[in-house]
A and B are shown apart, each in its own frame.
Chain A
Amino acid sequence: MKFSFKNEEDIVKLSPFISVLLGLLFGYVLLFLAGFNPNESFKYLFQGGLKGIADGNYRRIGDTLSQMTPLMLTGISVAFAFRTGLFNIGASGQMLFGGFIAVFIGVKFNLPPIIHPMVAVLGAGIGGALVGFVPGYLKAKYNIHEVVICIMMNYISLWGVQYLSGTFIPGKFDTESAVIQETATLKADFISNIFTGSSLNVGFFIAIIALIVVSIILNKTVFGYELKSVGYNQDASEYAGMNVKRNVIYSMMIAGFLAGLAGATFYIGYTNHIKMGVLPPQGFDGIAVALLGMNTPLGVFLSSFLFGFLKNGASFMASSTSVPRELVDIVIASIIYFAAISSLINGYLIKLAKKMNKGSDK
């Protein structure tokens, strides 16, 4: 990969980094205006995700990777749909329903260890794909905008899962489902030992594998080429003999599958039960991850690490200072806003590049 400040296409690649800096700057200014000590707060924010590495205590970095795990999967889910020209704002609902299937299998099925979580993870993916199928099918068949259907499916999943959990796998409290069996968990002792008791689990590796598989599908297969082609220009793809409708449905189903996997990593790797009446925020954060990562698997990896790092640091900051933890959510949301208006940032960058070129020509 070559990078040149003189090349306009290269310089546009800088805009996500500038969005991040602007988002952090916004948070910094907000802290300053609110009368907090921004330097101290940011120190704790950054320490929260890393502290201890030098002393061989990897708990905090493990927790960062654990926070990052579902974000990688929802992020790649949204990014995958984006490449086919679809906006998957329904990752939250897909993740929740997938997670329900995983927890259901974890509670009700009696299977040996290793097999049990594998079945649960697969079930979660299929559950997510089913939820993703609805907007995909309606888009292909009736040309209805997928965003509206996705929003509606989020709430249908929310209420549907609440009903199903309360009826089939009720827990001790009304607000929680039953806890999964020991055999179904994605937690593994050898990982916890390496990371000094962190919540990091096998889900992290599932997410990494998913990123690699998606990368191969998009870049090395005819199917991936067709999906991207549909994203660029539907009419041209149709004319070239591709089945646009089928590709739209497949794309949403795969996006749903990936978000469903996120549900598995979160609900049988981290919480071990379904919390009722809440849509998992990771689904919406996945939009931020995908946008910032410019819809590429590598970009999703980097941006989900950043958000996992910030979210993990937020708890440390909130416990060490009086700054509310929501600061990090503000920073993340403002990063998306800056990413949304990246045309403005790109304009400045290109101007800057032209100026530098002029200077070097002389």
Chain B
Amino acid sequence: MWQLLTDIMPYAIMNTIPMFIVALGGLVSERSGIVNIALEGMMVIGAFISSIFIYYYGSNFDNNGVWIAMLVAGFGTAIFSLLHAYASITLNADQVISGTALNMIAPALTIFLSRYLTGSQNINIGRGVNRFDVPILSEIPVIGPLFFSNYYNTTAVMVLLGVGVWYLIFKTKFGLRLRACGENPHAADSMGINVYLMRYIGVLMSGFLAGVGGALFIVTISGEFNGTVSGLGFLALGALIFGKWNVFRVLGATLFFGFMKTLGNVAMVNPTLQSLSLPTEFYNALPYFMTIIALVLFSKNTVGPKAAGQIYDKGKR
């Protein structure tokens, strides 16, 4: 069992981190009052931008190319997310429909561009982020083999980024204002907060984080762009709900989902799991089941931002 855990953990973390960053994007947007089911599409955009960047310019930056690609993907996806912001904030469009449109346009547009630019639907980035055993830390008993062996150095950066987002949203004046727009925009407006501006910032930040998450998917998990992020964006949405819109619970939820996804991937080859003789599909479907169950359990006391999904109409009281 211990062997199984240490074998699986590095891969579980690999699957967790992109999901975590994307779920954080969803958290910021929904806390500001805009439902973002376009996370999947935004991830695809981020994945495409990072791989096309590495494809063209990766060799110019030595080992830093991956990091710059992630930043570029973040900013590029933030620009893409303006489509969602403009429709749902300025034009009062239905946020779910606008998000659906983005989810549909992202794979089509990126595959079109990828075929046009590289001649192929797939863009191979060659080398992603290296894995290594962290010196000293990986020697610590229990924690070492679980968290610091076979380690990507993107992991710590992303966890730090997560803490940064937590501080920004839950500990600063700005964060309080942003959350107020998601709970009671009219009250926020009456206190002089520009609800539209705050929501634009929320959606742009979610675009940035989802783009970084998409880039992470490319440089750690897949190594190749092919027009999908295998449903990680929708899983991130599930993790956001499962984690009750709270940063650290979301981290826990994504870790659980990432673990299940990894179990699904290795169930066929790992002897310990083979002896359980549960089908691979069971592990893959479990996170979605758990999200539904979590929703049923939470349903008695509403936990999400109260005004999320509602159009803000200044004149309505």
Q: Which residues of A contact B (CB under 8 A)?
A: 30, 34, 87, 89, 134, 138, 142-145, 147-149, 151-153, 155-156, 159-160, 162-163, 167, 284, 287-288, 291, 324, 326-327, 329-330, 332-334, 336-337, 339-341, 343-344
Contact = CB atoms under 8 A, between A and B. Distances in A.
Given A87-B97, A147-B96, 9 more contacts: A87-B96, A89-B96, A151-B234, A155-B285, A155-B288, A163-B279, A330-B105, A337-B105, A343-B93
A84 B282 CA distance: 33
Nearest to B114: A324
A330 B110 CA distance: 10
B97 A336 contact: yes
B104 A284 contact: yes
B231 interface: yes
Given A143-B299, A147-B37, A326-B111, A159 B284 contact: yes
B212 to A, nearest CB: 22
B87 A148 contact: no
Contact of B87 (A138, A284, A329, A337): A337
Given A144-B299, A159-B281, A337-B98, A152 B104 contact: no
A343 B203 CA distance: 21
B97 A340 contact: yes
A234 B263 CA distance: 43
Contacts of A142: 295-296, 299
A156 B285 contact: yes
A152 B102 CA distance: 19
Interface of B: 37, 83, 86-87, 91-94, 96-98, 100-105, 107-109, 111-112, 115-116, 231, 234, 237-238, 241, 279, 281-282, 284-285, 288-289, 291-292, 295-296, 299, 309
Contacts of B93: 340-341, 343
A339 B104 CA distance: 14
Interface secondary structure of A, over-half rule: helix
Given A144-B296, A147-B96, A343-B92, A333 B282 contact: no
A343 B311 CA distance: 13
23 contacts: A34-B116, A142-B296, A144-B295, A151-B234, A151-B238, A153-B292, A155-B231, A155-B288, A156-B288, A156-B289, A159-B282, A163-B279, A163-B281, A326-B112, A327-B112, A329-B107, A332-B104, A333-B101, A333-B105, A336-B104, A337-B83, A340-B101, A341-B86
A336 B104 CA distance: 9
Nearest to A134: B292
Contact of B292 (A89, A152, A344): A152
Nearest to A160: B285
A154 to B, nearest CB: 8
Contacts of B279: 163, 167
A143 B298 CA distance: 11
A324 B101 contact: no
Most chain A CB within 10 A, of B87, B97, B231, B241, is at B97
A162 B282 CA distance: 10
Contacts of A284: 100, 103-104
Nearest to A344: B91
Nearest to B285: A159
A89 B100 contact: yes
Contact of B241 (A148, A153, A156): A148
A287 B112 contact: no
Nearest to B299: A142
Contacts of A344: 91
Nearest to A338: B101
Most chain B CB within 10 A, of A142, A163, A329, A341, is at A341
Contacts of B104: 284, 288, 329, 332-333, 336
Contact of A324 (B112, B284, B299): B112
B87 A341 contact: yes
Nearest to A163: B281
Contacts of A343: 91-93
A337 B101 contact: yes
Contacts of B237: 148, 151
A94 B143 CA distance: 44
B37 A138 contact: no
Contacts of A145: 309
A138 B289 CA distance: 13
Given A142-B296, A144-B299, A329 B285 contact: no
